[in-house]
Amino acid sequence: MPELPEVEVVRRHLDRELSGRTIRRASFRRRDIVLGLSSGRALARKLEGRRILSVGRRGKNLLFRIDPDAVLQAQLRMTGRFTLGERRPDPKRYRHIVAELELDDGRTLFYDDMRRLGGFRWLEAEAWRALDRALGPEPLARGFTARKLGEILETSRAPIKNALLDQKRVAGLGNIYTSESLFRANIHPARSADSLEPAEVAALHRAVRKVLREAVEAAGTTFRDFRAVNGRSGSFQRRLAVYAREGEPCRRCKRPVQRIVQAGRSTFFCAACQV
């Protein structure tokens, strides 16, 4: 599933291209990608004739701000991707287009989702505020300090990897970037979150922010499914130190990278470097 860096890359492109544009026509072809409303047509009626003020992000959610009072939430999940242009994209590459937003400048935003695990939700002001309150702080925000991270972790006895994945504690982190951050901070993923010393929390804070920034600059991580707008692939997979490298030599000590399962997800780490 796309994590904060992948969604942020998509957001930046869409915000640059869509801000100020009016939606002339909307089409949602599959009911299962419309979350909350009764039908795709009901969602289309909410959007048609309205202006996109900006495209934002909260955690792993894309947020199309529609006029001042409402937001169209988009979740990419595993295989969702956008392409923008004046013509329908190549059907060999985009075979599962399930939504279209025609804009006032003659272009159309197409949404392709092979597995249809993603989708769109219309949020009025109070619903948007509820979503915002349900999520933890943004790890790249100015207010996300080492002290703030320490306050978050000191209340949890869960393994540190699981605590970081809890979207109510920190918004946007996922399996890839938690594994990479813990490796850079030399912290074992099974350590209890409340066991970290202040120096370890500070090292983890630096690692999380640095990893996320590097991943955004690299347009995210692409193994198979993720594509930014118009098919652009990420390149951060070339920099991964532990994730998906089970059995390969650690980039520091050359001992084999190990894998364990935590909360049903694979965690990759170096037992020699991470304590």
Burial 130-162 (b: 16+ CB within 10 A, else e): ebeeebbbbbeeeebebebbbebbeebebbbbb
* DSSP conformation letters of 111-170: EEESS---EEEEEEHHHHHHHHHHS---TTSTT--HHHHHHHHTT--SBHHHHHH-TTTS
Q: Which of 11, 57, 60, 184 is catalytic?
A: 60
Strands 108-113 and 119-124 come out as: unpaired
Is residue 60 annotated as part of the catalytic site, yes or no? yes
22, HSE (Cβ side, Cα atoms, 13 Å): 5
Q: Which of 232, 251, 259, 265 is catalytic?
A: 265
Tokens for 121? Answer: 């939700």
Is residue 3 annotated as part of the catalytic site, yes or no? yes
Triad 251, 254, 260: Cα angle to 5°: 80
- Could you tell me if 52 and 19 are in contact, meaning their C-beta atoms sit under 8 angstroms apart? yes
Is residue 239 annotated as part of the catalytic site, yes or no? no
User: H or E stretch including 71?
Assistant: strand 70-75
Catalytic residues: 2-3, 60, 265
